[in-house]
Amino acid sequence: MKKRYHSYLKFLIRSGIFISLLFNILNLSAQEKCAVPKILEEREKKYPELSTQKFENWIAEKQKLKNTTSQRNQKVLVQIPVVFHIIHNGEPVGIGGNLLKSRIDRQLEVLNEDFNRLNEDASETLEEFQDLAASLEIEFIYAKQSPDGTETDGIVRIPGSQSSYSYQDRGILSAESYWPAEEYLNIWVTDLAGGSLGWAEFPVSNLAGLDAASNNRLIDGVSLDYVYFGDNPESPSFESKGRTATHEMGHFLGLRHIWGDGGCTVDDFCADTPSASGSSTGCNITKTSCESLDMVQNFMDYTNDACMNLFTQDQKSRVRTVIENSPRRKSLTESKGLEEPPVFNRDLGLTEINSQFTGSCSGNFSPQITIKNQGLFMIKEYSIDLYVNELLTETLEFTDTLESGDEKVVYFPLLNFIETAEYSISYSLNLEGAFEDDRLENNLKTEYYQKLQEGNLPYKKKFQNNFDSWFIRNADQEETWQQFNDAIGVPFYENRQNFGQKEEIISPIFDFTTIDVPELSFVFAQVADSIPNRVSIYASYDCGRTFNDLIFSNNITDLSTAYQVDSIFTPQFRLDWDTVKIDLNRLRDQESVCFNIVAENRLGNNFYISEFNVEESTKKNKEIDVLNWKNINPLFCDEELEGILTVKNIGRENISNYKLEILDNGKLIKEYIINDEVIVSGQNSEVDIIIPQPQRENGEFEIRAIINNEEEEIINNIYVPFQINCLEELPPLRLILKNGNSDNWFEFNPDKDAGWTYSSNNFAVNSNSSYITKESSEDWLLSPLMDVSNTNYLGLIFDLSYRKALRQSEKFEVYISNDNGKNFNTLIYSKSGDSLATSYGNDITDHLTWRNEFIDLSPYVNRDKIRLAFKVTHDNGQNIYLKNISFFVGQSPPPPFPNVRKSIVIYPNPAKNDVNLHLNLDVAEEGFFQILDMKGNVILEFKEPKILNQFISFDVSQLAEGMYILRLRTNRFSATERFMIQK
């Protein structure tokens, strides 16, 4: 090989299972077209047994064997059956992505021209490369028969479930329409997102131990953007001549980019393609890199379609080796799709039934089936048997003539089902007289009828031990909805081969005219997979015959509740579950409504539902709520209270007038009439308020938001406790938590939920986020008022622990009141979710993970007074824990206190120039310090008005060598420590 094989290790990290052209079509020349590096990295992480190294070793061995047996130059034309899946957005044929057949025909022609060197521009190949150009001897043809053996034109047109698809959606795209990859080359043509032109699944070897390759069979094929499909002079950036398909087909058959996705030292494993430093764009045929002329005309470069015109001999050898040996490549050349569908002399068959499942309210069902003479000879005598739950119910005999190709709809007498249940209805077709049917596999069809039970509203269903009146629709007869402890679910984890499998479960029928404002809610659990299972809920208004109204999809609302696991997920904790609520107000006049929950397999983990409820919505047409207050400090001295209230329109309609009332001990002391703004439903608004100075030392304000809704007065409120609290403290200061005592700190919750509480196990205070379900409820913890007028530097340190659940996200903020404690007007710390987390998980653990936080408060000193507020905003997730909350005199956090059982530590010892004194007392008080020599002479003494947790450094460079004594005395504590000075 001309390129060093060890450079392949670099390529290992830079390639992918899907070779994908991903680039911005508005700036084509400036961006990479392929998602190779990222995707191969994902592939090898997920399937180490499918490593590129193993594949290349395998293909090298196969090529060596092929060359030994003198097969390299043997001309053997192989055919591959192609099915084009045209995934459009509902447009008529010829509009948008629903391409004309002539455009598809042309693309097929381009593939055959390019792969057989019949392209008109073959003569433009540079002279240096003419002798290297090769015909790959491959013919792509439309599949001649479908998987069920019927005739096909090789084109399937399907309206997609998404308007566009990225390469991360490749599983979703393939599930829209798929034929078995062992027999058919699937080509999906649609609107690709993110600037992608296309991508392809790379082949795998059939080495022992690579069985996991079968995981990819349901997405095996080529995906192309319809704009760059076939001839399209109007395609952006360059004129499409169908070479995107040629490029991606090369990847599908094992070819890599000619620059090896790495540069001069990285190999594409074809010796006759010159090394290149990178991809090429446009059509610079004189481009050189790696000390040689680049083969910019190769189909596996990134040049414009009009520039591409050749594959090489070594590329041919590689492709032919793949076709002759690789699973799902070799089988294509032997596919039944290459053959005309079988034709029999006498073949009377049943066509597909209209719907495999049919629902009804009345119990009446009219069986009908279509028969077709699919043979060459006419048919004169035949009969059809009707079975209900495998019991023969009716036989119809016919003697009319059906010519070849004739169809006939057969109607059976009306069936009436009394019991609420599911019934199987089977049709069996028989030839009568002297002749037998030459093909029997199309003579039996089965459908299912479900008489649904009526449910009363409000409806609450807990799936604790049964399905009751719910019906399962198991179309594929594979694993489906089943009971799991106190929930129902689908065991998708055990069914990772059945990509796209849809499992349905049907609710009872409800009369929505009996409820004013209906709301649906369901409780669910699912881990966060890279491609989550698709969950949709459809409504039917004809007793389950059709479900056409999509009322919920997790394409909009993520249904992940727990972190990803590498085993079967089973919900164990409260936070593994969550609830989705769906406003069904538009269904309020429907007399017959039932729901179909459809869970679609995306090769993820199990999905669970524990509750399904349809009730009267608590949401009013007009309602306003008081969310929180800002700036107000309920600990006051001699002033009135000023602040901002945040209110939210939680009703269905926009509101333009409401009022706020402030009550003290039930007495109205202030009122605000708001009628000068419109608050849109779901939006917030802020109101400046002033509360007169209370006449009592402590109490509680009630703040009400009031609005009239259909002649009903709707009131929501919060509570703000107040207290005359003018006691000042000097820093340093610590929140003492022994025995739950919080000293002069003040805590409250405006919604009167559980606020900060003392956790004796952790010697910490914790929020009660796990117990508080109200949206945006808050816990407040206020520090004492501190006199910082003579403080030059001040810092705040605290230890924090927060275990973040997947779906919930608490917020923690610290505010400072720097106007002598009047208002909390400055936010100095704010973290939430991942930035706040010290660990992750839905479980509750006794082993908390702590992080030390530091806030420099020095910008707020040298003024009279400050006060701090610690606020948690709840999301009903995990609790937030705080401990070691300390204000210390200093501009940077002190070093951690040594792990000793002392309240005072001196180091270094012996010292040379400086001695550090580290204090860690339980109670802050006045301290007296002395340094004495060994004769008891006082060398230095000083007094600190308040000591607690200081870190003090002494300059001892002027002291002589020897032993000294440090003595500390407070009103309740004394300590003596020796230290040595050694020059």
- Integer Cα distance of 221 and 965 in angstroms: 83
The sheet that has 951-955: what strands, in order across it?
904-907, 914-919, 951-955
Q: Where are the alpha helices (DSSP H) in 684-786?
A: none
Q: Are strands 811-817 and 865-873 parallel, antiparallel or unpaired?
A: antiparallel
- Nearest alpha carbon to residue 981 among 916, 915, 910, 931: 910
- Nearest alpha carbon to residue 33 among 303, 220, 290: 303
Give residue for tokens 């597909």: 352
Give residue for tokens 């966060």: 528
Beta strands in 857-908 (DSSP E): 865-873, 880-888, 904-907
In the chain, what is the straight-line distance between the N-terminal and C-terminal CA atoms, in Å? 70
Q: What is the DSSP string of 748-776?
A: E-TT-S---EEETTTTEEE--TTT--STT
- Nearest alpha carbon to residue 582 among 549, 609, 559, 615: 615
What is the CA 830 to chain-centroid distance, rounded? 25
Q: What is the DSSP string of 195-260?
A: TEEEEEEPP----TT-GGGGGGGGG-SEEEEGGGSSEETT-SSS-EESHHHHHHHHHHTT---TTT
Q: Which residues contact 513 (CB under 8 A, 6 or more apart)?
A: 588, 589, 590, 591
Phi-psi region of 732 (alpha: psi -120 to 50; beta: other; left: phi over 0): beta
> For residues 187 and 85, is the Cβ–Cβ distance under 8 A?
yes
Among candidate residues 248, 503, 519, 810, the one labeled active-site is 248
Greatest CA separation for the chain: 132
The 8-class DSSP code of residue 131 comes to: G
b/e burial code for range 493-531 (CB count within 10 A of at least 16 → b) = bebeebbbbbbbbbbbbbebeebebbbbebbbbbbbbee
Element (H, E) at 494: none
Phi, psi of 901, rounded to the nearest 5 degrees: -90, 60
- Integer Cα distance of 45 and 42 in angstroms: 5
- Integer Cα distance of 183 and 510 in angstroms: 46
Q: Is the dihedral of CA 597, 598, 602, 606 positive or negative?
A: positive
Query: Cβ atoms within 10 A of the Cβ of 388, count?
Result: 17
- Integer Cα distance of 81 and 576 in angstroms: 47
Q: Are strands 795-804 and 839-840 parallel, antiparallel or unpaired?
A: parallel
- Integer Cα distance of 30 and 755 in angstroms: 56
Phi, psi of 121, rounded to the nearest 5 degrees: -90, 10
248 in active site = yes
The sheet that has 594-600: what strands, in order across it?
471-473, 502-506, 594-600, 534-540, 549-553
> For residues 365 and 415, is the Cβ–Cβ distance under 8 A?
yes
The 8-class DSSP code of residue 307 comes to: G
> For residues 81 and 141, is the Cβ–Cβ distance under 8 A?
yes
- Look up residue 535 and give its two tokens: 């969950």
Catalytic residues: 248
